[in-house]
């Protein structure tokens, strides 16, 4: 997320609808763009999903808003554009033969 981003979260949703937070930043700052790894990575099985949510503030109340007055913003790579990007790394779990 860029300057308009306020919150970002990723949640694993298991087949039984159990939700496991992967990452949650409730007061996002632009300079926090980085790579984050969970200390205890969850197992993700068949039928599980990962949901990504981003919240933006394009109002004059956002001190980081580069546009005065606020204007429509779309996806883009520039800092004054916006995006919500979470890359999820996964590896296969190999079970030993009996």
Span 59-77, pLDDT tens digits: 999 999 999 999 999 999 9
Tell me: pLDDT of 94 over 80: no
Q: Which residue has the tokens 């984050």?
A: 36
Percent of the chain residues topping a pLDDT of 90: 65
Mean pLDDT confidence for 6-19: 95
Count the residues in the chain: 98
Is this prediction's pTM over 0.75?
A: yes
């Amino acid at each position: 997320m860029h300057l308009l981003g306020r919150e970002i979260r990723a949640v694993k949703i298991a087949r039984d609808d159990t939700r496991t937070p992967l990452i949650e930043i409730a007061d996002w700052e632009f300079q926090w763009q980085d790579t984050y790894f969970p200390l205890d990575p969850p197992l993700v099985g068949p039928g599980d999903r990962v949901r990504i949510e981003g919240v933006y503030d394009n109002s004059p109340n956002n001190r980081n808003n580069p546009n005065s007055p606020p204007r429509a913003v779309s996806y883009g790579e520039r800092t004054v554009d916006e995006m919500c990007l979470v890359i999820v790394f996964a590896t296969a779990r190999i079970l030993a033969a009996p």
